[in-house]
Amino acid sequence: MRNAPTILHLDMDAFFASVEQASKPSLRGKAVVVGGLGPRGVVATASYEARVFGVHSAMPMAQARRLAPNAAYLVPRFGLYRAISEQVMGLLRRLSPLVEPLSLDEAFVDLEAGGSAWDEQSARLSGVKLRADIRAVTGLTGSVGLAASKMLAKIASEQAKPDGLVVIEPGTERALLGPMPVRTLPGVGPATGDHLRRAGITTVDEIAEAGEDELVRLLGKAHGHGLYAMALAHDERPVVAERETKSVSVEDTYDVDIHDRLRVGLEVQRLADRCVGRLRGGGLSGRTIVLKVRRYDFSTLTRSETLRGPTDDPAVVREAAARLLESVDTTGGVRLLGVGVSGLADYTQEDLFAQAAGERADASPEAAVAEPVPEQPAPTERHWPSGHDVRHTEYGHGWVQGSGLGRVTVRFETPDSEPGRIRTFRVDDPALEPADPLPLVAGRAETHCDREQDRAAPAAVSPDT
């Protein structure tokens, strides 16, 4: 452990939703939910206004709509999010060469390695300046935690949310951690938390009081040792600049060959679920599903299937693994089975862009009073995802508020304008075209945004509002 809080953890506040609010004046201060709008869609990010109603990330979109029916529901614009993330990561790299990104909106920074901080005062000044620079460059807010270890820096940033800065001074860690619930510690998920609760352990202090031997007995050697050390505020993990995982996989070897085809299928399903658990534990998703089968004669076969986009949906991985199994002859028996996911990403596209076959959009109250046009069938080649940018030859830049029944409703406004007017057009109106996002901060050069990536999924998105 260091003797100064020189490890920084940055977590952007409700990142996807905040980007949408910054780019759309009419949504500022209102509930915004970003995610897949189809029946299998999930919430990627909810604004703090939406969280008041109980909406949170990874929640099924249908449940979110029940909790917050009047929120704005938008399809993600990953090209724009990546571009803004690159700006933020660039600011972090000015502080230190040791920057460890965890996702588009979250990273650790070793301030000491960059000479940016060496004691509490200099660390605090670095955090204050970083937050100001992020706001100036992107118009967004981020929460900063500073501590002597990665674990404590992340806990500090959680306490700082939203739009704050918290410093945990060395020597105060045990007193701070003690009353916190066990789920506060890294690696303690719902299953481990329930296991500890049944043993009468609900706080970090109680983990320390239970002792290392008891934790090893309850959780196993590796997990028990690690958890006990964290309960004592011991975390020696360094900030690692390059942190690339190429694949996530699980496999089991059987003492006796499995001959029953039904049993083989059930084992593959179980392995798929375990693989997704590891995938989600790392905050990852992947495009390529891999099945590994070692047969009775030690011959090993692998089969793979690449999806349209990254996923961490257990149902999607199970289905793909089952399809792959259909092409493998297991008649003589199976010694080993494995399921893996590669082509990793830090967001989930397959769930977010789940297709709603035949789904009709719910017209918004504002759209109802917009200019009426005759209903016409929507040409299949033109799709208008909710929240994406468009440009009209007469009215200028705007964004899609909703589409369906052969019409598209657009609100015309820009990041630095007043809330704009709504107009409705035919989906095949030649004057309306997709557009690139505008910079969030007026006067700054437009952020680089890969137009093709930004629109990679509209074909899989059903019209929705």
CA distance 149 to 184: 15
d(CA 347, CA 269): 23
| Residue 420 vs residues 110, 388, 403, 417, 450: alpha-carbon distances, Å | 43, 15, 18, 8, 26
Q: Three-state DSSP class for 364?
A: coil
Catalytic option among 20, 106, 267, 413: 106
User: What are the backbone dihedrals phi and psi of residue 80, each rounded to the nearest 5 degrees, phi first?
Assistant: -70, -45
Beta strands at 72-74 and 32-35: parallel, antiparallel or unpaired: parallel
Q: Is 413 a catalytic residue?
A: no
Dihedral angle, C-alpha 284, 435, 460, 21, nearest 10 °: 50
Q: Cα Rg for the chain, rounded, in angstroms?
A: 25
- 3-class state of residue 226 by DSSP: helix
Distance CA 293, CA 301 (A): 5
> Which of the 8 DSSP states describes residue 309?
E
Is-contact 328 303, C-beta < 8 A? Answer: yes
Reported residue count of the chain is 465
Looking at 296-364, list the stretches that DSSP marks H as alpha helix, in order from N- to C-terminal side: 314-326, 349-352
Q: What is the largest CA-CA distance in the chain?
A: 73
Bridge partners (DSSP) listed for residue 108: 9, 100
Q: Which residues have CB under 8 Å from 450's CB, separation 6+? A: 79, 82, 83
Instruction: Catalogue the active-site residues.
Output: 106
